[in-house]
Structure 1
Amino acid sequence: MTRNALVTAARGWIGTPYIHQASVKGAGCDCLGLVRGIWRETIGPEPEAIPPYSRDWSEPQGDEALFRAALRHMRRKPLDDEAPGDVLLFRMRAGSVAKHLGLQAGVGMRASFIHAYSGHGVIESALSLPWRRRIAARFALPTETN
């Protein structure tokens, strides 16, 4: 699986409505569901079952559940080692748990990422400075040469 194939797969989800806990292209997904769907399309079966989760999951306990799951299944990369196809994990507020995901599409002057965003569905957004400041970690999916 090439990095470009990951981006192509992610772009195939653009326009999918935002639906919490869903992971069905064209029907609905959230940010985790988008990454799960890309995983299924490009790698195969998901590596573990996802338990039900609330919209504020992990926040009351300060639990980095999504971060730990990412470490179990992907290779962590330095934040400045950006490449198309990287999975980005974001903290939406300083000091909060990391709980938003996206897949980097463009790099350099045209840096962008694809994510499922509440109220917008799956979109490609510029990886602007405000978004970059929120990146908690960067990962490579196991389809790439690590």
Structure 2
Amino acid sequence: MSAVDEARRWLGTPYVHQAATRGAGCDCLGLIRGVYAAVVGTTPEVPPAYSRDWSEPQGTEALWQAALRHLQAKPLGAVAPGDVILFRMRSGAVAKHLGLQTSCGANARFIHAYQGHGVVECALSAPWQRRIVARFAFPAQQTGQE
């Protein structure tokens, strides 16, 4: 199953901070962790408890560093469906939101878990695109690989 297909199975999951259970609740990290487990065949590290501001008070890029441990970094311009995209929600803040690109081009879209909305697929509009600071691919699947 592709990352896009798996992420679409999560649509409608309620937003629940620090959760990662399809249909019951997840946040943006929980969504990506769930998709990772389904498409890679292993479970990434379990994150320590985290606040909604992530590591903003400390100024550390905790989410970015975790992504680098488990995903393959890509150039920002190497856009493809299934990419994990990392957002910085405001200038000078740490990157603290994740999504999964579902389509590219003029009608680019992405899936993310958003507080107050749950897991939704929406347009990757110019305001969202301006906030992208990193792009990643999932590693090769562990199951069925030699």
TM-score by length of 2: 0.93
Tell me if structure 1 keeps the 8 A contact 2:110–2:124.
Answer: yes
Residues 62-141 of structure 1 aligned to structure 2 (within 5 Å): 62-141=59-138
Write the distance in 2 (CA, Å) between the matches of 1:52 and 1:72.
18
Spell out structure 1 runs of 4+ moving beyond 4 A.
Answer: none
Q: Distance in 1 between matches of 2:30 and 2:140?
A: 18
Instruction: Report whether the alignment pairs 1:32 with 2:29.
Output: yes
Report the residue type matching 1:62 in the other structure.
Answer: G
The answer for unaligned runs of 5 or more in structure 2 is 142-146
AA at the equivalent of 1:113: F
SS at match of 2:103: coil
Across the aligned residues of Structure 1 and Structure 2, the Cα RMSD in angstroms comes to 1.1
Count of aligned residue pairs for this structure pair = 141
Task: Give me the identity figure in percent.
Answer: 65
Equivalent-residue separation in structure 1 for 2:122 and 2:91 (angstroms): 20
Structure 2: distance between partners of 1:141 and 1:67: 14
How far the C-alpha of 1:49 sits from its partner, in A, is: 2.1
Whole-Å separation in 2 of the counterparts to 1:47 and 1:90: 20
Which residue pairs with 2:144 in the alignment? none
1:55 shift after superposition: 1.0
2:14 alignment partner in structure 1: 17
